[in-house]
């Protein structure tokens, strides 16, 4: 009985370099959180599916929108829909950016800001203007910095979705931020001040204490997950809606999310005040291999990463 040989994949450039370190990269990411993973071929497969989805939506996935392979990452910057760019951003956040942040952790908070007035029905996500939204967030942070001069903040704009009572779908733009050196009361007041009049959010500003380096790494990993989430709500014991299971969008809604991401770069989604603002500006010039090397070095030298 003859045995068919599996043809060897020819790898060169970035792809070969990453493939040779695939296990170490995967273990480094899992040391931060067990849900993090990495696969050279898995990300290539995701990219092919995304290219096909965008084509169906009427968007040509040119190299400026989706990298055709791993080896063009340093020659240009593709969009936030690109699976390769998403990995580059995640590795940067958990390596170089993480090691550049300093905090005493006394006032470091994870802030989630949700204004229900920003919701968009399925089919109208393209109407959501990222620049206008970020100006509101910048205004809240500027007001906060006036009373808390040592404040620094880093965050990202995210688009998730939620179901309506009639089983329709609403896209829900919101932002996640790390905010340090400001009181909880000041943070709440600054963000509540930029809520639109039609907002019906019961908890528009949610705060969680970030207690140490390990928690900081997990929060950064959560910020840079860059996936199309569908959030559900369930009824609690006293009849109040509480957050339930989170799934991924599928079908036309996922493709619409992807099309919106294709119109922006990852750096456009990021928000920074204080030292993080300079790091975000530098991110656009960072090359892939140094980013990954710093990720690996950070995990080897950080006992709190586990």
152-163 and 229-235 beta bridge pairing: parallel
So what's the pLDDT on residue 5? 52
How far is it, in rounded angstroms, from Cα 174 to Cα 169?
A: 16
Torsion of CA 37, 42, 47, 52, to 10 degrees: -130
Distance CA 303, CA 52 (A): 42
Q: Is the overall model pTM greater than 0.75, yes or no?
A: yes
Identify the pLDDT of residue 198: 82
- On the question of pLDDT at 4 being above 70, the answer is no
Q: At what angle do helices 288-300 and 13-20 cross, to 10 degrees?
A: 10
Q: Provide the pLDDT for residue 306.
A: 38
**SS3 (DSSP) at 276:** helix
Residues forming a β-bridge with 120: 171
Q: For the chain, what percent of residues have pLDDT higher than 70? A: 90
Question: Residue ranges of the alpha helices (H) in the chain?
Answer: 13-20, 22-32, 40-57, 83-92, 98-100, 130-147, 184-192, 213-223, 252-262, 266-269, 275-283, 288-300
d(CA 245, CA 230): 9
Higher-pLDDT residue of 235 and 36 is 36
| 235: helix, strand or coil | strand
Q: Tell me the per-residue pLDDT of 99-152, one tens digit each, with 9 for 90 and over.
A: 999 999 999 999 999 999 999 999 999 999 999 999 999 999 999 999 999 999
Domains of the chain by residue range: 103-254
* pLDDT of 245: 54
Dihedral pair phi/psi, residue 131, rounded to 5°? -60, -45
Q: Which residues sit opposite 111 in a β-bridge?
A: 177, 207
**Strand, helix or coil for residue 303:** helix
Q: What is the pLDDT of residue 167?
A: 86
Look over the chain and give the mean of its residue pLDDT values, rounded to a whole number.
90
């Amino acid at each position: 009985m003859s045995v068919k040989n599996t043809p060897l994949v020819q790898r060169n450039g970035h792809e070969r370099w990453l493939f040779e370190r695939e296990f170490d990269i995967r273990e480094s990411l899992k040391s931060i959180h067990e849900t993090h993973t990495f696969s050279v071929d898995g990300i290539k497969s995701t990219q092919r599916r995304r290219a096909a989805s965008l084509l169906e939506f009427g968007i040509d996935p040119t190299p400026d929108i989706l990298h055709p392979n791993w080896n063009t990452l340093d020659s240009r910057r593709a969009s936030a829909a690109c699976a390769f760019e998403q990995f580059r951003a995640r590795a940067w956040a958990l390596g170089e950016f993480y090691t550049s942040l300093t905090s005493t952790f006394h006032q470091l908070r994870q802030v989630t800001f949700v204004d229900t007035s920003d919701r968009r029905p399925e089919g109208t996500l393209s109407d959501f203007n990222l620049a206008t939204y970020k100006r509101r967030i910048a205004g809240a942070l500027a007001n906060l910095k006036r009373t808390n001069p040592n404040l620094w903040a880093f965050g990202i704009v995210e688009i998730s979705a939620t179901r309506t009572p009639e089983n329709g779908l609403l896209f829900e733009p919101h932002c996640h931020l790390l905010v340090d050196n400001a009181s909880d009361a000041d943070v709440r007041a600054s963000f509540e001040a930029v809520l639109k009049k039609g907002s019906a959010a019961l908890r528009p500003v949610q705060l969680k204490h970030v207690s140490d380096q390990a928690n900081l790494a997990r929060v950064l990993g959560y910020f840079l997950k860059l996936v199309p989430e569908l959030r559900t709500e369930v009824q609690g014991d006293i009849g109040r809606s509480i957050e339930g299971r989170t799934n991924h969008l599928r079908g036309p809604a996922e493709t619409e999310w992807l099309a919106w991401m294709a119109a922006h770069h990852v750096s456009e989604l990021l928000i920074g005040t204080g030292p993080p603002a300079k790091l975000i500006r530098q991110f656009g010039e960072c090359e892939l291999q140094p980013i990954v090397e710093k990720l690996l070095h950070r995990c080897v030298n950080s006992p709190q990463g586990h």
